[in-house]
Structure 1
Amino acid sequence: MNRFGFLGAFHFRVEFLGLGGDSVDTRFQSVSGLSSSIETDSLREGGENRFEHALPSRTSYSDLVLKRGFVTSSALLDWFSSAMQTLEIYPKDLNVVLLNEKHEPAMTWKVTHAWPKKWAIGDLDAETSAIAIETLELGYHDFRLEK
């Protein structure tokens, strides 16, 4: 372990539970959207015009965005394609696992009830030799952090 106990953000995997598939569906270039915030409702107090009370009302979560090199065949891509074509949504739970230097789980974000929301392919450009990148966006109910 490093001197201060900090973990690199570059060593991780994503595990889709109940999806099947092979290891290509655990490897991503980037994961973003593990974010939550507490929404508030305003309450005006009668006779008090200087301020409003902000009362916590619910927790909201950002969409989860996964990026990887485009693959032509995967269980994850089949799940997305089926949802986009039929609008039959079958949510899945998933884990985003941050790994330590020994390739062991150091932190795990357990994401519940994730569902396909958007799929996109990056720009195709004959003037570059870049890998085609697909972006998978998921809505979800919530997540919890486990050590």
Structure 2
Amino acid sequence: MATERANKNPYSNFNFIVEFDGMEELAFAEVTGLDSETTPIEYREGADATSAMRQLPGVEKYPPVQLKRGITGSLKLWEWRKEVRDGGSTFPPTKTVTVKLVDEKHDRNAPAMTWTLTNAWPTKLTGPSLTAKGNDYAVEQLDLVHERLDVS
């Protein structure tokens, strides 16, 4: 459940945890795309030809969530992506993904906010850009599509 700070100071954006199916935790450097959008439906009543268009809530849309992390040698994300590609036992092989924003105490059991992606599956997994120039670490990016985004 979301926790508002008594001092009203914002939380740091670098204190977060990503969990898959409530158990497996992987370290990521960046999470983007925690967005929710409702497409408006415009209409005008048949006898009401002179008034402005009215708008009602329409279809809920969620863009892919992008997770970036330094490559550690683990193949867990690639194996999940392979399940989607090859058609695993359940198709698509979905997971519940939670992103927890934590405070400076890093208490994962009392997050400041939690974003929950329901029925998420990897639509794209991008390998690193490798170059002999520079000293950055190798980064891979996972793009997840999902059916619902809830915030608590």
Work out whether the TM-score is over 0.5: yes
Query: Residue 98 of structure 2: which of 85, 95, 99 is its match?
Result: 95
Distance 2:53 2:6 in 1: 47
1:106 aligns to 2:106 (yes or no)? no
Structure 1 residue ranges without an equivalent (≥5): none
Which aligned pairs between 1:12-31 and structure 2 lie closer than 5 A? 12-17=16-21, 20=24, 25-31=25-31
Aligned 8 A contact 1:112 1:140 in 2: yes
Structure 2 residue ranges without an equivalent (≥5): none
Count of residues in Structure 1 that have an aligned counterpart in Structure 2 = 141
Q: Per-residue CA shift, 1:3-34, capped at 9, x if unaligned? A: 423111111010001775xxxx5210100111
More off after superposition, 5-14 vs 49-58: 49-58
Aligned 8 A contact 2:78 2:125 in 1: no
Aligned 8 A contact 2:83 2:93 in 1: no
Distance 1:35 1:122 in 2: 25
TM-score, length of structure 1 as denominator length:
0.84
Q: For residue 9 of structure 1, what is the aligned residue in structure 2?
A: 13
Q: Residue 80 of structure 2 aligns to which amino acid in structure 1?
A: W
Q: Is the partner of 2:137 in helix, strand or coil?
A: coil
Aligned 8 A contact 1:40 1:57 in 2: yes
* Amino-acid identity (%): 33
Shift of 1:59: 1.6
Q: Residue 38 of structure 1 aligns to which amino acid in structure 2?
A: T
Which aligned pairs between 1:33-72 and structure 2 lie closer than 5 A? 33-46=33-46, 48-49=49-50, 51-72=52-73
Q: Residue 99 of structure 1 aligns to which amino acid in structure 2?
A: V
Distance 2:115 2:134 in 1: 36
Distance 2:78 2:23 in 1: 11
Aligned 8 A contact 2:22 2:98 in 1: no
Q: Per-residue CA shift, 1:30-74, capped at 9, x if unaligned? A: 001110011112213335255322221122111111000123224
How has the CA–CA distance of structure 1 residues 38 and 132 changed in structure 2, closer, same or farther, with 3 Å as cutoff? Answer: same
Distance 2:69 2:82 in 1: 16
TM-score, length of structure 2 as denominator length:
0.82
Distance 2:6 2:68 in 1: 28
Distance 1:44 1:135 in 2: 44
Distance 1:82 1:73 in 2: 16
